[in-house]
Structure 1
Amino acid sequence: MTLAMSWDEWTSHDAVGLAERVRKGELSAAELARQAAAGVQKINPAVSAVVEVFEDVVADPLKDGLNPQGPLAGVPFFMKDLGPTLKGRLQEQGSLFMRGNRGSQDAWLTRQMRKAGLNLIGRTTTPEFGVCSSAENPAVYVTRNPWNTDYTTCGSSAGTAAAVAAGVVPLSHATDGGGSIRIPAGFNGNIGLKPSRGVLSIGPNLSDITGYVSTQGCHSRTVRDTAAFIDACRGGAPGEFMPYWTPAEPYMQLIQRDPGKLRIALSHEWGDYRATPDIVAELEKAGRFLEGLGHQVEWALPQADLRAAFAAQTTCYISNFAQVINGLLASRGLDRPPADLFEPINIRIWEAGKDLSYTERHRMQGVFNSTARAFGEFFEDWDIILTPITAKPTPPVGTTEYLTISDNPDVLDWFDNLWKFFSYTPLSNLCGIPGISLPMASQDNGLPFGIHAQARQANDGLLLQLAAQIERALGGRWNDGRRPGVHVAA
């Protein structure tokens, strides 16, 4: 098959750049889709990032309703196999139990993506129901890090992270209930923004008020791609429980200007959790870099009861996922999850959460409120807080203690172990504030490492503005200009 361009040329384009060439008539959406599909064939045997390519929309990009006038018209795009449904398409959620499950309708966000002109050409891997830190069930698939395939991508946006990092597509869908956009972005050298509440809809079947912590988003390799995606896809479905907001200025315009001098707090001492010395050194290096850009940088931390916050977050996850599983069981007339079709930790989560009382949920909501107020008070004095993306380095493939195939009999201990590693991302989900992982740092093993910035609610634009300033200061060379060993241009 003859491709539209060389792989080096392909990966020199971001999504905005590809869309511009389609608008000019230099390339067609079908040519871009064929190139992305060929990229899957190149990298997938090594990293197992893509579950399925939709060959019919590769051949005919307008088949499913792509808007050829959209700002990202013709850009090939993968959907994480979780979250927004695509009518008639498989959505198996990383689960043996969900094999053969098909969406009955396009979700609202799916419709927004098509309206933006994105060509939804396939689906990427995720752990079962997006619960754990890595897509690593050998009975389903094992997604590997393209920088070094001995290591995990982390998750739960595992396949998206690998596909974007390996150059298959410049932009891909991701979701985040506690770091699932930002952590794999950090470990794969991508940009990952978790938006505030009220930006990207999970309607019509769910709302921000039903899940509290889950948000939608993307991975990209340039700040303007993330800005373009949010600008084009934001907005609420009819009947949302809370208002969806729009900034005064589109992010694509905002990011063209540097922010003013920012008050930036640094912290890795996050309640009971601490980062390793090597990671702290990378955070300090990032702080000095931002000082060099003219910002005020000091050590500071919100005055919140973080121990109570993590306990409430655990209650939220257990109760949310238990009810998701209850709904799946009810749809098939089952009383409990079949042990051969559900991963062990997800069965234990169901057991722990299926009968959780409203009293416990009410207590959880109270802690959510007090934590969000404490972070809000903190952001009266600070513009941004900067942390590492995680407290520990990327685990090798097969580190089962963080996986839902773990044999840990104590689900609370399993979650506590998770928080010791993924310490810095979950509370922004709890508070509904934005967080972004930027590929500014590295690990001793040669893998990338993300620096994590959070801001007050609805200050997503400031995070993108700072990210764009950093990108310009780096000359566009995230990850020091390096690319992974598994890559379409390798």
Structure 2
Amino acid sequence: MTLAMSWDEWAGQDAVGLAALVRDGQVTPAELAAQAAAGIARTNPVLSAVVEVFEDVVADPLRDGMNPDGAFAGVPYLMKDLGPTLRGRLQEMGSLFMRGNRAAADSHLTGRIREAGLNILGRSTTPEFGCCSAADNPAVYVTRNPWNADYTTNGSSAGTAAMVAAGVLPISHATDGGGSIRIPAGACGNIGLKVSRGVFSIAPAASDLTGLVSIQGCHSRSVRDTAVFVDACRGGAPGEFMPYWTAAEPYAALIQRDPPRLRIALSHEWGDYRATPHFVAELERVGRFLEGLGHRVDWALPAIDFRAAFAAQTRCYISNFAQTIANLLAPRGLDRPPEGLIEPINIRIWEAGIGMSYTERAQMQAVFNTTSRGFGAFFEDWDIILTPITALPTPLSGTTEYLTTSDNPSVQDWFGTLWRQFAYTPLANLCGIPAISLPLAAQENGLPLGIQAQARQANDGLLLQLAAQIERAIDGRWNAGRRPGVHVAGG
């Protein structure tokens, strides 16, 4: 098969650039789909990042209702195998238990994505129910990091992270309940924005009230792609629990201007958690770079009870995931998770959380409130807080202590292990504030290290403005211009 462009040309374009080629008549959505499918075939045997390619959509990009006049004009896109559903398509959630599960209808966000001109042509990998730190279960699949296949991508947006980093797609779907957009973006060298609460709908199955911490989004390799994605896909469905807010101007326009001089706080000491010395040195280096852009940078930390906040976050996860599992058991007439089909830690989460009382949830929500108020007070004095994306290096594939295949008998201890590694991302979900991972640093093992910027609620545009200013300053050379070893155009 003859492809529309060389792999170097393909990997050199972002989604906005590919859409412009379509509008100029230089390439068709079908040719883009064929190229993406070829890129998946080229890289997936090593990365194991794509569960399924929809061959009928590759052949006919309009088949499922994609709007070719949308902002992205037919750019290929993968949907994480979790969250928004695709009518008639499988959604198996990284679980043996969910094999063969087909969605009856599109989610609201699915419709927004298609209306934006993104061509959903397959499913990307995720750990079981999106619960753990990597899509790493040999009984299902083991998704590997394109920078070094001995390592995980982190999770839970594992397959998306690998495919975008490997140049297969410029943009792909991701979700984030505690860092699952930002953490794999950080380990794979992508841009990953977790928006504020009230941007992307999770209708019709849930709302921001019932989801509480979970956010939809994408991975990309350019700031403008993320900005256009948010502009095109945001907004609530009829009957939302709360009003969905809109920015004063489109982010695609906002990012063309530099932000004002910002007050940027650096931090890596979050309660009991600390980053490695190398990560701290990389954070300091990025801080000096931002000073060079004219911003004020210093060390500072919100005055909150981190230990209480992480305990509340753990309680939220245990009760939320337990109910997620219960909702999947009930239609099948089961009263408990079946051994061997649901992973051990997820069974223990169900056991620990299914009987959680309203009193316990109310106590959790009280800590959510005091934590959010603490961050709110902090952002009266500071515009941005900057951290490494994780406290510890990305694990090697098969490091089971972070996985729901772990044999750890204590759910509380298992979550504690996660927080030591993934210390800096979850509280943004708890508070509903925006946060972005930018590929500005490197780990000692050679993998990328994302640097995370967080801002006050509804200041998503400021994060994108800062990211765009950085992108211009480095001439678009994220990851210092390096490519991963597994890449459609060669490493």
Distance 2:329 2:32 in 1: 40
Give 1:223 deviation, angstroms. 0.3
Alpha-carbon RMSD: 0.4
Can you list the C-alpha shifts for 1:388-434, whole angstroms capped at 9, x where unaligned? 00000111001100000000000000001100100000000000000
- Give the letter for the 1:444 counterpart: E
Give the whole-Å Cα distance in 1 for the aligned partners of 2:446 and 2:138: 26
1:455 and 1:444 mapped to 2: Cα distance?
Answer: 28
**Residue type of the alignment partner of 1:350:** W
- 1:16 maps to 16
CA distance in 1, matches of 2:469, 2:366: 37
1:236 and 1:73 mapped to 2: Cα distance? 23
Equivalent residue, structure 2, for 1:250: 250
Say yes or no: does 1:57 pair with 2:33.
no
- Would you say how many aligned residue pairs link Structure 1 and Structure 2? 490
Q: Distance in 2 between matches of 1:200 and 1:329?
A: 27
Q: Which residues in structure 2 correspond to 1:468-483 (within 5 Å)?
A: 468-483=468-483
Matched letter for residue 304 of structure 1: I
Which residue number in structure 2 is paired with residue 147 of structure 1? 147
Distance in 2 (CA, whole Å) between partners of 1:289 and 1:404 is 39
Instruction: Encode CA deviations 1:121-140: one digit per residue, 9 max, x unaligned.
Output: 00000000000000000000
Is 1:32 matched with 2:26? no
Task: Tell me how far 1:73 sits from its aligned partner.
Answer: 1.4
What is aligned with 2:286?
286
> What is the match of residue 377 of structure 1?
377
Equivalent position of 1:189 in the other structure: 189
Letter of the aligned partner of 1:248 in structure 2? A
Q: Deviation per CA, 1:330-376: give whole Å up to 9, x if none.
A: 11001111111000000000000000000000000100011001100
- Counterpart residue type for residue 393 of structure 2: P
- 1:444 CA drift (Å): 1.1
Give the Cα–Cα distance (whole angstroms) in 2 for the partners of residues 413 and 349 of structure 1: 12
AA partner of residue 479 (structure 1): N
**Cα displacement string for residues 248-288 of structure 1 (whole angstroms, at most 9, x for unaligned residues):** 11000000000010000000000110001010000000100
Deviations 1:204-251, CA, capped at 9 Å, x for gaps = 110111011000000000000000100000000111001101101100
Paired with 1:288 and 1:126, the residues of 2 have a C-alpha distance of 36
Matched residue type, 2:129: F
Q: Name the amino acid aligned to 2:104.
A: S
1:14-413 correspondence to structure 2 within 5 Å: 14-413=14-413
Shift of 1:445: 1.1
Q: Note the residue ranges of structure 1 that are not aligned, 5 or more in a row.
A: none
AA aligned to 2:424 is Y
**Matched letter for residue 422 of structure 1:** F
SS in structure 2 of the partner of residue 167 of structure 1 = coil
Q: How far apart are the structure 2 equivalents of 1:115 and 1:200?
A: 14
- CA deviations 1:426-461 (Å, max 9, x no partner) are 000000000000000001111100000000000000
2:310 match: secondary structure? helix
1:24: Cα distance to partner? Answer: 1.3
Q: Which residue number in structure 2 is paired with residue 463 of structure 1?
A: 463
**What stretches of structure 2 of length at least 5 have no aligned partner?**
none
Runs of 4+ in 1 over 6 A off after TM superposition: none
1:100-139 deviation line (CA, Å, top 9, x unaligned): 0011111000000010010000000000000000000000
Query: Whole-Å Cα distance in 2 between the matches of residues 346 and 106 of structure 1?
Result: 27
Name the aligned partner's letter for residue 353 of structure 1. G
Structure 2 distance, partners of 1:220, 1:68, is: 20
* Residues 50-92 of structure 1: CA deviation (Å, up to 9, x unaligned): 0000000100000100111101111000000000000000000
Where 1:217 maps in the other structure, the secondary structure is strand
Letter in 2 for 1:263: R
- Per-residue CA deviation, residues 134-160 of structure 1 (Å, 9 max, x unaligned), is 000000000000000000000000000
Q: Identical aligned pairs, as a percentage?
A: 77
Q: Secondary structure at the match of 1:173?
A: strand
Residue by residue, what CA displacement relative to the aligned partner does 1:142-198 show, whole Å, maximum 9, x if unpaired? 000000000000000000000000011000000000000000000000000000000
Q: For the residues of structure 2 that align with 1:209 and 1:335, how far apart are their CA atoms?
A: 26
SS class of match (1:151): strand
Q: Secondary structure of 2:318's match?
A: helix
What's 1:438 paired with? 438
Deviation at 1:317, TM superposition (A): 0.3
Tell me the secondary structure at the aligned position of residue 151 of structure 2: coil
Q: Matched residues in 2 for 1:134 and 1:118: separation?
A: 26
Q: Which amino acid aligns with 2:263?
A: R
**Post-superposition shift, 1:25?**
1.2
TM-score, normalization: structure 2? 0.99
Match of 2:279, as an amino acid? I
Residue 379 of structure 1: SS of its match in structure 2? helix
After TM superposition, the score normalised by the length of structure 1 is 1.00
What is the distance in 2 between the residues matched to 1:198 and 1:288? 33
SS of residue in 2 equivalent to 1:356: coil
Q: What amino acid maps onto 2:118 in structure 1?
A: L
Per the TM alignment, residue 294 of structure 1 is displaced from its structure 2 partner at its CA by: 0.3
